[in-house]
Amino acid sequence: MKRLFVLAAAATGLIAYAQPFPGAKPITLVVPFAAGGPTDRVARDLAKAMGKAMGDGANFVVENVNGAGGTIGATKVAKAAPDGHTLLIYHIGMASTPALYRKLQYKPLEDFEYLGLINEVPMMLIGKRQLRANNYRDFENHVRANAGKLNIAHAGLGSASHLCSLMWQSAIKADQAMATIPFGGTAPAMNALVGGQVDLMCDQTTNTTGQIEAGRVKAFAVTSAQRLSGNMLLKDYPTLQEMGLKGFNLTIWHGLYAPKGTPSAVLTQLNSVLKLALNDPDFIKKEEGLGALVVNDQRSDPAAHKAFVASEIAKLKPLIEAGGKFAD
C-alpha cells in the first residue's frame, strides 16, 4: 500500500510538472518601491497588458517590496524560486546601485535572467508652486542666489529622483547649494513638495505629469535630449541641454527580470508575452499619456537588454562616484 501511495504521489508530481506554464499559479511582478510611485504605475499597466497577452486566465499580480533604493525587492527576486512565477520590474537603479551600495546582496549582471526593456521615461525638474521663478533660467538663478537656503527632495538613496538630483546639481556646479532631503518613496517626497515643505525635486514624467496639470507644482525643464513633442502638456518645456547643460540626457528606463536559472522555455514564453504587451495599443496610450516612450527596438530582446544595462553601469559609475554618495 505504501508503495502504491508513493507511486501515485510521483505520478501526481509529474502531471503537475508537465502542466503548461504558468498553470493556475499567479505570476508576481515585484516592484521594489512603494505603491503609487512611477515604477508601480508602469508595473500595474504592464501586468494588465501581459495578462491579456498571455490569455487563458493568466493572472499577473503586483507586489510592492519597498526599501533601500529598490535593493530589498531586487534581492527578494534574485533569491526566489527560478520558476517564472516571481519577476522583478526595476528602473535605472539596476545600473546605479552597484556604485551606490558597497554591499549588494546580488550582482545585477550575474544573478538575473534578462527579459527585455519596457520603456524610457524622461524626468522633469519641478519646484513648489510658491517659487517666484516661472522659467528655467530664472529658476537656476534663484537656486544660485539662495545657496544654502533651499532643499531638494528625492525618494531615497539610489532612487531615480536621487540620481537626477545628483547629476543636475553637479551639472550646474551647485553641489553645496542646497540640502538634500531623502524620503521613503516617491509619493511622500511629492507630497512634501506639493505641501511646500521642500523646494525642489527631479522626478519621472509618469509621476509629475498629473501634478503639473493640476497646478500643484511648477515645472521648469525636461532631462531628455529632445523636447517631449508628443505630449501636449509637456511639449513646450525646454531640455536642460537647451538651457546650457551640454550633454545632459537622462531617461529612466524600466526592465523586466527573472531569477537566475529560470528554464529557457519559460523565459522564451515570458519574453514573447512581454513583446506582445509592448505592442498593446492600450498600454502604449497609457505610457505616452504620462510622457513615457515604450521600447520598440532590439533592447526588448534579452541579450540586447543585458548589454544595455552593462553599458549603463559603466556610464553611471564614475558620475555617482564623483558625487560621493554611498551606502552599505
Per-residue pLDDT tens, the chain, 328 aa: give them: 444 444 344 444 444 444 689 999 999 999 999 898 889 999 999 999 999 999 988 899 999 999 888 999 999 999 999 999 999 999 999 999 998 888 899 999 999 999 999 999 899 999 999 999 999 999 999 998 998 899 999 988 778 898 899 889 888 987 667 899 999 888 899 999 999 999 999 999 988 999 999 999 999 999 998 898 878 889 999 999 999 999 898 989 999 999 999 999 999 999 999 999 999 999 999 998 888 889 999 999 999 999 999 999 998 888 777 765 555 5
Which amino acid does the sequence have at 58?
A
C-alpha cell at 28: 508576481
CA–CA gap between residue 197 and residue 190 (Å, rounded): 10
Dist. CA 239–CA 315, nearest whole Å: 21
The span from the CA of 125 to the CA of 143, in Å, is 13
Question: What pLDDT, on a 0 to 100 scale, did the predictor assign at position 128?
Answer: 98
- Hey, is 18 helix, strand or coil? helix
Give the pLDDT confidence score for residue 2 in this predicted structure: 43
The per-residue pLDDT for 127 is: 97
pLDDT the model gives residue 173: 85
- Three-class SS state of 306: helix
* % helix, strand, coil for the chain, step of 5: 45, 20, 35
**By the 8 A CB rule, do 307 and 154 touch?**
no
Residues 145 and 278 sit within 8 Å (Cβ to Cβ): no
- Per-residue pLDDT at 175: 66
The predicted pLDDT at position 187 comes to: 87
Query: What ranges in the chain are assigned the alpha helix state H?
Result: 2-18, 38-54, 71-78, 93-100, 136-145, 160-171, 186-194, 205-213, 264-278, 281-289, 302-323
The reported pLDDT for the residue numbered 64 is 97
CB 175 within 8 A of CB 169: yes
> 55: phi > 0 → left, psi -120 to 50 → alpha, else beta; which?
left
Q: Are strands 217-222 and 86-90 parallel, antiparallel or unpaired?
A: unpaired
Q: Is the dihedral of CA 158, 164, 165, 168 positive or negative?
A: positive
Give the largest Cα separation in the chain, rounded.
86
Pick the closest to residue 186 from 42, 36, 41 (CA basis).
36
What distance in Å separates the CA atoms of residue 97 and residue 99, rounded to the nearest whole number? 5
pLDDT at 292: 87
